[in-house]
Amino acid sequence: MFDLFARVFGREDASKDVAKERLRLVLVHDRASLSPQALENLKNDLLKVISQYLDIDDQGFRVDFSRNDDAMALVANIPIKKKAGRML
C-alpha cells in the first residue's frame, strides 16, 4: 500500500521501469562485448587523440552506444571550445 502511495506521488518509479532501464544498459554492453570500464578507457583514448587536433570541451564530451532496431552505433558528442571572440 505504501508502495502504491509513493508511486502515485511520483516518489518512486514502477520497479518494472527500473528493470527495463537496467536491462537496456547491460544488454548494450553484453551485445558489444565491451564493459563499462572498457568504454571509459575508449573515451579517454578518444579524448587524447582528438585533443591533438582540436581544443575540446571535455566537460561536454560524451560517448555512448545507441541502438535502433537492428543496428548498434557508437555515438560521440564532442563539443569544441570557442576561441575567444570568434564564432565557429
Which positions lie near another protein, rule CB under 8 A?
A: 3-4, 7, 14-17, 19-20, 22-24, 26-27, 30-31, 70
Nearer to another protein, 20 or 82 (CB): 20
3-state SS assignment for residue 75:
strand
**Rounded to the nearest whole angstrom, what is the least distance from the CB of residue 8 to another protein in the complex?**
11
**In the bound complex, what is the minimum distance in angstroms from residue 79's beta carbon to another protein?**
32
The per-residue b/e assignment along 11-48, b for 16 or more CB within 10 angstroms, e otherwise, is eeeeeeeeeeeeeeeeebeeeeeeeeeebeeebeebee
Closest contact distance (angstroms) between CB of 7 and another protein is 7
Q: Which is nearer to another protein, 19 or 74 (CB)?
A: 19
- C-beta closer to another protein: residue 18 or 54: 18
Tell me if 46 sits within 8 A of 57, measured CB to CB.
Answer: no
